[in-house]
Structure 1
Amino acid sequence: MSQDFKNNIDKAATYLARFKQNTLGHYINGEWTLGSEGETFDNGSPVNGESLGKVVKASVVDVDAACKAAAKAQKEWAAMSGAKRKTILHKLADKIEARAEEIALVESSDCGQPLRFMRQAAVRGAANFRFFADKAPEARNGLALQQEEHTNFTVKSPIGPVGVITPWNTPFMLSTWKIAPALASGCTVVHKPAEFSPLSAAILAECADEAGLPPGVWNMINGFGEVAGKELTQHPDIKAIAFVGETVTGSMIQKQAADTLKRAHFELGGKNPVIVFDDADFDRALDAVVFMIYSLNGQRCTSSSRLLIQTGIKDRFLAALKARVENLKVGHPLDPATEVGPLVHTTHYEKVLSYVDAAIEDGATVAVGGKRITDLGNGNYLTPTLFTNADNTMRIAREEIFGPVLTAIEFETEEDAVTIANDTNYGLAAYIWTSNTGRSMRMAHSVESGMVWVNSENNRNLPSPFGGVKMSGIGRDGGDWSFDFYMETKNVCIAFDTHRVPVLGRE
C-alpha cells in the first residue's frame, strides 16, 4: 500500500466515523431530524460490504413536512433580490470548496467511484453554484416583442417548490447541477438523494445551512422511491420534479405526477454510440473510447457503451482496445492508482454480471473480462469487459448495462452507422470520430440524440443544453435552459391607445 493510499484510507475513516456512529436523518426546515417513525436502513459499502451507518427512511409524514416547509419558505425566497441570492449561493460554493477533500473521500467510499474522478466532484459542484449564482440577478429577464400599436414583454417568476431526485453514480455533482439553478431562479427545494449513496447529500445540506439559506429553502429527505419518492412526486405543494435516473423510474414518476400536473424534467438512460470511421485519428479515438466507458466505473449516463467500428479499421482498433482494457487497473477506490473501482451495490453488481451470460447466449464473444474479482475482498469488483462479434439485435447492444462494459459492432458505410446508431429506444449522447468535416456535419444532423460530440470525449460546457431525446429524457439543463424549467414565463401586452377597440352593443 502506497503512502498516499494509506493517507486516503485514514482520512476517509475520520470523515466516515460520524456516519457510522450516528444515524443519518433528514434536513427539514433548517433542522436535522430522525423523522416521525425512525425506521432505518443500512448503507453498505461497495468496497467490502461493511456498514457505513444507518439512514432514516422518510415516511409520508416526513415528506409532507419537507414539502410544507419548502412551500412556506417559497414566498420569501422568491421575493429576495437576485443579487442577494447570488451572494448566498457564492457563499455556498465557498463552503463546498472548503470541504472538497472530505466530499471526495466520502463519496468514493459511498459509491465506489475511484478517487481520481471524485476529486473533481466538489470543484464541479462549486462551479455549478457559481455559474448559476452569477445568472440569478438576470433570471427574471424576458423579451421585448414589438407590434405597430402594442408592445409585448415577457417576465419570469419561479415556478415554486421543486422536488429534486438524484442518482447514485456521481451523486454530489449531479445534485448541484439540479439544485443550483432551482435556487438561483427563486425556487425552494426538497431533495431526495439515491438510497445507495446518501452521504454526500448530507454534506451538501450542511453547506447550505452554513451558507445562510433561510429555513425551508433547502430540505433533504432520505429513503426509497416506493414511499419517499412517490409522496414527493404526488405532493400538491411541489410544482415541478427534476429527476436523474433510470427510464423505467422516470416513466413511473410521470404517472405519479399526472394528477397534480407537475412540470417534469427527466435525464434518463442511454445506450450511447461512439462511431469510429476508418479515417479517424487512431490514438485519440482509442483514448476517448476507453475513457468514456471505463471511467467512473461505466456508471455514467453519457458513457459510450456501443462502439460502432468501421470495417477497414476494425481488426487493428479492436486489438489495441483489447490490450488497453486488459491493462486497466481495478482496485480500491481510494487507491490513487485505481482506474476502475467496485460497483455501487450488490444488486447492481449482479445485474451487470448477468449480461455476460446474455452476451454468450446471443452469440457475442467475451473478448476481455466479464468475471468477478475475489482477491480484493468482499467488494463489488469485476474485470472491465469488452464484447466483440456483436450486432445491434443483442441484449448487450440494446439494454443499458451501466457498468464498465463495452459492446463492439462492425459497420461498413456511413449509412450503416446512422442506421445502427439510431436503432435504439434511447437518444442521450453520441460521439463521432472522423477527419472528414462534411461527414461529421452529416452525422451530427442524422444521429438521433440530444447531444453529439465530434472528435471529442464528453466535454462539459455549462451554458450549453444538456439532455436527451426519445426514452433518454425530457427537457434540457444548462444555461438559460435550466431557468426555462424552474420558472414560469408571463406575457404582458400594453397598448399605445391608438388601435381600434372592437365595439358590441353600442347604440
Structure 2
Amino acid sequence: MEQFGHFIDGAFTTPSNQWIDSVDPAAGTVWCRFSRGDAQDATAAMDAAERAFESGPWSRMSGAERADCLDQVADALARRWEELVEAEIRDNGKRLTEVRGQFAGLDNWFRPFAEKARHISREPQHNAVPGVQSETTYLPFGPVVAITPWNSPLMILAWKMAPALAAGNTMVVKPSEMASASTLLFAQMVHEAGLPAGVLNVVTGYGHEVGGALVRDQRTRMVTFTGSDLGGGKVAAAAAENVIPATLELGGKSPQVVFGDADPDNAVNGILSGIFLSNGQSCVAGSRLIVQASVKDVLVQKLLARVWTLQLGDPMDPETQIGPLANLPHLEKVRAMIARAVDEGATCLLDGREAGRGRAGFYVGPTIFDDVTPTMQLWREEVFGPVLAITTFDTEAEAVQLANDSAYGLAAGVWTSDSDRGARVARQIRAGTIYINHYRSIDPGASIGGLKRSGYGRELGPDAVKHFLQTRSIWTGTAPVPDPFPA
C-alpha cells in the first residue's frame, strides 16, 4: 500500500504516524494513505511558499522567465500525463475515458497563461491633474492558498495554479482528504519539470485541521476555493478574519430549460452530458430539467430510452459509462436524498439505487424523478449525484421564473431553435455561465464562477492572471509642485 507524505519545498516529507485512508470507490477497499496534516505542517508549507516568493529564484524571475518555466511544466504534462491517470481514478472513481480526456489536455491550461505572463506590463492612466502623469502597475499577492475538491482535483488545480503562478505568486494546495494522490504526484512531476522548490506545496489533511490553519496564516495573501457552499462559507469567514481576498467556486442546482421548438435529440444529448457525466458529481450538473409541457412526454421517453442503455461498471474499463460515486459518505447522502424525494411525493421514473445493489463499491445508477415541485428538497438542494428532477412550464415567463427559483446560480442550459428566444432567456437567468443549445463547454479563455450561493470571483477567462495580481497607481510629477501655502 502506498503512503504519501506532504510535498513541501520540492520534496516529499517523511510520512507521519497519523493517516487518512483513501478508499477505491469501485472496490470499497483502502488502496493508499495520506499524511493527516496539522497546523505545524501548514506552517512548514507556508514557510516554503514565503521563501520562494521573497528570496528564491522565483522571486527574481521576469514575466518571460516565469512563462518559460510554465511552458516547461506544460511540456512535461504533455509527455507524462498518463502517469497520473490511475491515481485519480482510484481516489475518486471517475471513469477512465473522462480522466484521460481531462489529463490529455492538462498542458493546455498552462500555455495560454504562460503567454499572458510575457505581457504583464504597466498601463497608462488618464487623469485630469495638471503637471502629473500616472500609470497602473501590477504585482503578485504572494503566497496563495488553493483548496480543491475531490471530483476533478487535478483539472481544477490547473485552473487555479496556471494563472496564479503566471502572475508571480507561490502556492500551497490543500486537496480534498478524499482524493489527494493525483495532486501529490502532479506536484512532484512539475517540480521535476523545473518549477523551483517552494513554488507549489501540497499539504494533505482535513479542512478544520489544515485548511483553516493555512487560510488563517498571516502570510497567506489570497485564497481560492472550490467545493460546497457550506465549506465556502467557512473559508470566506476565515479569509475575512485575515482581510484577504477569496475566490469561491461553489455548488449549483443548474436548470436545463427545454422549449417545445428545441431539437429533442440534441437536447437529450445535452441533458445526458449535464447530469450523468461524472455520475452527476459536477458543480455545473444540469440537475433540474424544466421542460415545456407540450413536449415533456416525448422528451422524457427519449431520455429514458438512452439512459436505460448506459452501462455501470469498473471505472478503469473503457467500456464503462457510469462509474461509482466517489466515497461512502457521499453514497449515503445521495441514497438519502433519493429516499426523501420518494417520501415527498415525486414520481420516480428510474431508481438508480437498484443498479447499485449487490455491487462492491459505491454505486448509484442514473435516477430520474418527475413531478418535482419547488418545495421539495430535490429541487432546492444540490445532490451532486446522478439524480435528475423534472418539472414543466407553459410560458416563457414561467420557465425563467422556475430557472431562477434557486439559491444557486452557477450554470444553466437553454434549448430552443429560436435564437432570439435563446438570447432573451439567457439574459434573464441569474447564473454565471449560460449555455444555449449545448452544455458543459469549458476553455481557458472563458471565465467560470457563480452568482448567489454559487460563490463569487471568477476563474479562467481573459482576465484570469489579473485576478491573481494587485494593482497600484504610480504618480510622477512633470512640473514643479506649486507652493501649497502662498503668501
User: TM bucket by the smaller chain?
Assistant: over 0.9
Q: Count matched residues.
A: 484
TM-score normalized by structure 1?
0.92
Secondary structure at the aligned position of 1:173 is classed as helix
Q: Which residue is equivalent to 1:136?
A: 117
TM-score normalized by structure 2?
0.96
Aligned with 1:451 (options 429, 433, 437): 433
Contact 2:448 2:461 survives alignment (8 Å): no
- Note closer, same or farther for the CA distance 1:143–1:283 as it changes in structure 2 (3 Å cut): farther
Separation in structure 1 between the aligned mates of residue 312 and residue 482 of structure 2, nearest angstrom: 75
Q: Which residue is equivalent to 1:234?
A: 216
Secondary structure at the aligned position of 1:476 is classed as coil
Unaligned runs of 5+ in 1: 1-19
Runs of 4 or more consecutive aligned structure 1 residues displaced over 4 Å after TM superposition: none
Q: Which residue is equivalent to 2:79?
A: 98
Unaligned runs of 5+ in 2: none
Deviation sequence 1:192-249 (CA, Å, 0-9, x none): 1111111110121111211122221111111010101110111111101100000000
Contact 1:390 1:408 survives alignment (8 Å): yes
Aligned-residue sequence identity (percent) comes to 36
Q: Which residue is equivalent to 1:478?
A: 460
Q: Which residue is equivalent to 1:38?
A: 17
* Letter of the 1:309 counterpart: V
* Letter of the 2:44 counterpart: A
2:40 is aligned with 1:61: yes
Contact 2:356 2:365 survives alignment (8 Å): no
Map 1:99-138 onto structure 2 (within 5 A): 99-138=80-119
2:366 is aligned with 1:384: yes
Map 1:271-282 onto structure 2 (within 5 A): 271-282=253-264
Could you tell which deviates more after superposition, 72-81 or 357-366? Answer: 72-81
Q: Which residue is equivalent to 1:261?
A: 243
Separation in structure 1 between the aligned mates of residue 215 and residue 129 of structure 2, nearest angstrom: 45
Separation in structure 2 between the aligned mates of residue 371 and residue 188 of structure 1, nearest angstrom: 44
Q: Which residue is equivalent to 1:365?
A: 347
Separation in structure 1 between the aligned mates of residue 123 and residue 299 of structure 2, nearest angstrom: 51
Aligned with 2:31 (options 34, 52, 75): 52
Deviation sequence 1:366-394 (CA, Å, 0-9, x none): 10123144566320011210111111221
Separation in structure 2 between the aligned mates of residue 78 and residue 281 of structure 1, nearest angstrom: 54
Displacement after TM superposition at 1:98 (Å): 2.0
Contact 2:113 2:465 survives alignment (8 Å): no
Aligned with 1:339 (options 311, 321, 332): 321
Q: Which residue is equivalent to 1:73?
A: 52
Q: Which residue is equivalent to 2:407?
A: 425
Separation in structure 2 between the aligned mates of residue 488 and residue 376 of structure 1, nearest angstrom: 55
* Letter of the 2:323 counterpart: G
* Letter of the 1:61 counterpart: Q
Map 1:295-334 onto structure 2 (within 5 A): 295-334=277-316
Separation in structure 1 between the aligned mates of residue 199 and residue 356 of structure 2, nearest angstrom: 46
Deviation sequence 1:418-469 (CA, Å, 0-9, x none): 1111111100001101111221121111100011111111211211221111
Q: Which residue is equivalent to 1:3?
A: none
Secondary structure at the aligned position of 2:179 is classed as coil
Separation in structure 2 between the aligned mates of residue 226 and residue 207 of structure 1, nearest angstrom: 28
* Letter of the 1:73 counterpart: A
Q: Which residue is equivalent to 2:3?
A: 23
Secondary structure at the aligned position of 1:316 is classed as helix
Q: Which residue is equivalent to 1:214?
A: 196
Displacement after TM superposition at 1:180 (Å): 1.0
Deviation sequence 1:274-304 (CA, Å, 0-9, x none): 1000011111111111111100111111111
Secondary structure at the aligned position of 1:328 is classed as coil
Separation in structure 2 between the aligned mates of residue 52 and residue 142 of structure 1, nearest angstrom: 52
Contact 1:346 1:380 survives alignment (8 Å): yes
Contact 1:433 1:454 survives alignment (8 Å): yes
Task: Give the root-mean-square deviation of aligned CA atoms.
Answer: 1.6
Displacement after TM superposition at 1:501 (Å): 4.1
Displacement after TM superposition at 1:478 (Å): 1.3
